[in-house]
Structure 1
């Protein structure tokens, strides 16, 4: 039977990194408000490069895991694919971004030699707390957006863009990841940690709802169901408790806050003329068709892509909301296979481990990977370095199934592998 003590295995007893918390918080300020918030998208890359440099120069990294060689090769293939596309299209900015990407990849690889994945996940979770706090404070502690709409009409203008005027889907992307981390990691924290993380989950979910991001909401709910079911499948009491709490919350809202149900129905309306199925998935189908028409051309060579943020994709199709298509367009089909394979192995290994020995780290990884695979059908943030959520997913991609645990420091029972 699963219980909180069982979840709090030695894998979970790791300190958090204040440095990573600050890094997550600062990169959450990415938006269009001014030049500073636009530059914030490079905060994660700069931050990890500085941290990796410190670890190397201080001698804290004695040797590298055997799986590091495979990770270097994968990162090099993705980068070379993007560089090839950038050079063929003579896109200097795209080539520069490819260099930023490989430096970021290598810096993450160095960090993974020092920090366990549990420490990294906890750091991002508490970074999420600070990020949510910044969002609320900069917004005057008001969550405005879809939560405040009324009537029978809903427009894109009703969606919250946050204090930094970010895209609503990007805000939802980050808040969903923070929610998954908070909900899954909270049971293994002490009382104060539980309060902090559960509070983060509540407000992050409310912020997500204010953005009216249907893809983010559906992916979040599905990922939480998967992670919770796998982790607590043998603990019927725990699952019933969660279900009962959700039913009670639903009844309370229906009786005393019914306007929120009306707003949720309005947000999720699939027959909406501007955001429903009749609009071609909010115009996505038309954009996808435009990308498909460029496969095997100089714009998108398909197998190696046209380069990160290549000019054609940025200038003519600025919102191709499908992470899989974007990866092919930027780094090629070969890179997509590499990325999906590494995440698939991480997901399968964590799912197997958490079934045998329930622990919050593997449960969180299952939730995170499930979320990004589902959300990427209607969002373009799969492979990115400018926001905390995609940045965390990149940690998992770089680590791979064999590299996300420093097994020498935290040996596992033989039957969990």
Structure 2
């Protein structure tokens, strides 16, 4: 959470990596026979690490080499964790961590949050702040991701579960609003739209409740439109010359254009990239402000294309599975949907320096391995069905 704090950034990030490694070591101590099965996503990540080492050696970038080593250690820890935990264990551990973080936010940042949310500030941009010195764009990614995890993880059957989840989601939204994290808010809205569309398409029982909630929200917007529009315009800087509607998004579009031109002007790096964490301000001369441009600069066109195809494949399979099975498949589907939407506006899709990026790596590795296991299961069943009667009975007993 301190990953953007000037004083504690490096130490906090190394501590986060250290905790991941410590968790993996605990699993290794408790179970000496952990079987790590590499999936498609794992293969892409490990190949990107190998490619980064090669480009770092070619360009003599010591920082890229060091970051790649830290990324490798972290991802190996993630592989051990995802192959050691059950789905429910992972989901509840992440939810518990998020609730602890939000409790700390409320204690440390609560008073500033109230001031930032109060309307009528003369210099609104001075109040644009996120807890622990986090960059506002990153706050939209992290706290928006927290909302997805909270909404799709069960808190059991206790009578306080609905209240706890409602308060936690409201706090995340408040932090995003105070930080004016418009990209994060938009990604949450788009993810919610996909959820509602899926419920309507499947004619689920929750469609009625969603319809009632939609009607109530529409009525509130009609009754208090003037106040809501004025508050939103102030909090989201919709009327400012630099970030407002009149700017036409020219600032972000110009940055994306520079990124595309930078990629097109490269030689062999356009295919192989220049290594993990090489798309820094010092190296490229501008902030990338998009994960897709960032990944293309660091890993090249081929690997970026392979990664996007892998994400789309996982989304397709996870969507079909979450309709009936729910649980982890539903959480992974909506977390990836949110991350892919939000990554248009930031560079944190594949990273290890913030909590939700680590969650994305955990979800992607776990989901990819689960899908690979399910794909191999029908082949084993079809083999059993073609064997003679006695071996088939033995196979059934084994299943």
Q: What's the TM-score bracket when you normalise by the shorter of the two chains?
A: 0.7 to 0.9
In the alignment, structure 1 residue 90 sits paired with structure 2 residue 60? yes
Are 1:99 and 2:69 an aligned pair?
A: yes
Matched, 1:343 2:343: no
Match of 2:7 in 1: 34
Is 1:171 the counterpart of 2:144 in the alignment? no
The whole-number CA distance in structure 2 between the counterparts of 1:394 and 1:376 is: 14
Mapping of residues 295-314 of structure 1, within 5 Å: 295=263, 301-310=269-278, 313-314=281-282
For structure 1, the residue ranges without an aligned partner over 5 or more in a row are 1-27
2:64–2:276: 8 Å Cα contact kept in structure 1?
A: yes
Instruction: Name the structure, 1 or 2, with higher relative contact order (CA <8 Å, separation 6+).
Output: 1
Name the structure 1 match of 2:357: 390
Name 1:111's counterpart in structure 2: 81
TM-score (normalised: structure 1): 0.79
**Greater CA drift, 239-248 or 328-337:** 239-248
Give 3-state SS (helix, strand or coil) of 1:293's partner. Answer: helix
Counterpart mapping for 1:17-96 below 5 A: 28-32=1-5, 34-35=7-8, 37-65=9-37, 68=38, 70-96=40-66
> In structure 2, how many angstroms separate the alpha carbons of the residues matched to 1:306 and 1:398?
24
The reply to whether residue 273 of structure 1 matches residue 245 of structure 2 is: no
Alignment of 1:139 with 2:139, yes or no, is no
| Structure 1 contact 176–208 (Cα < 8 Å) conserved | yes
Matched-pair contact (CA < 8 Å) for 2:34–2:80: no
In structure 2, the CA distance between the partners of 1:117 and 1:327, relative to structure 1 (3 Å rule), is: farther
Structure with greater helix percent: 2
Q: Matches of 2:320 and 2:66 in 1, distance apart? A: 40
Q: Matches of 1:145 and 1:170 in 2, distance apart?
A: 21
Between the aligned partners of 1:73 and 1:252, the Cα distance in structure 2 is 49
Post-superposition shift, 1:403?
A: 3.2
Within 1, Cα distance between the matches of 2:6 and 2:217?
Answer: 36
Structure ID, larger Rg: 2
Aligned residue for 2:329?
362
How many Å separate the matches in 2 of 1:270 and 1:85? 42
**Residues 1:351 and 1:70: Cα distance change in structure 2 (over 3 Å):** closer
User: Partner of 1:399 in structure 2?
Assistant: 366
Q: Contact 1:71–1:399 (CA<8 Å) still a contact in 2?
A: no
Q: In structure 2, what is the Cα distance between the partners aligned to 1:400 and 1:256?
A: 43
CA 1:38/1:98 → structure 2, altered by over 3 Å: closer, same or farther? closer
1:129 lines up with 2:99 in the alignment: yes
Summarize the Cα distance change of 1:44–1:266 in structure 2 as closer, same or farther, 3 Å threshold: same
Deviation of residue 267 (structure 1)? 4.5
Correspondence 1:160 to 2:129: yes
Q: Tell me if the contact between 1:147 and 1:263 (Cα under 8 Å) persists in the aligned partners.
A: no
Q: Distance in 2 between matches of 1:31 and 1:257?
A: 36
Further displaced range: 102-111 or 248-257 = 248-257
**Partner residue in 2 for 1:16:** none
Number of the residue aligned with 2:230: 262
Q: Cα offset for 1:100? A: 1.0
Aligned-CA RMSD value: 3.3
The worse-fitting range, judged by mean Cα deviation, of 263-272 and 110-119 is 263-272
Q: Which residue of 2 aligns with 1:320?
A: 288
Moved more, 251-260 or 108-117: 251-260
Per the TM alignment, residue 97 of structure 1 is displaced from its structure 2 partner at its CA by: 0.4
Provide Cα deviations, 1:63-94, integer angstroms capped at 9, x if missing partner: 233xx164553222111222233233321011
Residues 147 and 260 in structure 1, CA contact (< 8 A), matched pair in contact too = no
List per-residue Cα deviations over 1:272-323 (Å, max 9, x = no partner).
4211465463622332333333326669812221222227544554532111
Normalising by the residue count of structure 2, what TM-score does the alignment of the two structures yield?
0.82
